[in-house]
Amino acid sequence: MKALEVIESVEAEVVVEVTPVNIQNGEPALSHITQAFKTGKHVVTTNKGPLALAMPALTELAEYNNVYFRFSGTVGVAHPC
């Protein structure tokens, strides 16, 4: 079963989205977040790609579907001092 099918079919309230992301198109994170919103699930993510590429649209979609969209994460966490 593919991730989008799991997001759609599993009875859950929240999707924690932490996949690696292609900075050119925000995938697969962008599709995961969008699918979660469309199925009425809240989303928490650490991915910066979807935020950089589609923040206004994601925020609007979350509001439209009456779900929370939360994001946080540390940039450069693996960078040696």
Pairwise CA distance, residues 21 & 28, whole Å = 6
What is the C-alpha radius of gyration for the chain, rounded to an integer number of angstroms? 13
How remote is the C-alpha of 57 from its chain's centroid?
Answer: 12
User: Per residue of the chain (81 residues), what is the pLDDT tens digit?
Assistant: 799 999 999 999 999 999 888 889 999 999 999 999 999 999 999 888 999 999 999 999 999 999 999 998 766 656 665
Cβ 44 vs Cβ 17: under 8 Å: yes
The answer for residues whose C-beta is within 8 angstroms of residue 28's C-beta and 6 or more apart is 3, 19, 21, 22
Q: Which domains does the chain have, with CATH numbers?
A: 3-71 (3.40.50.720)
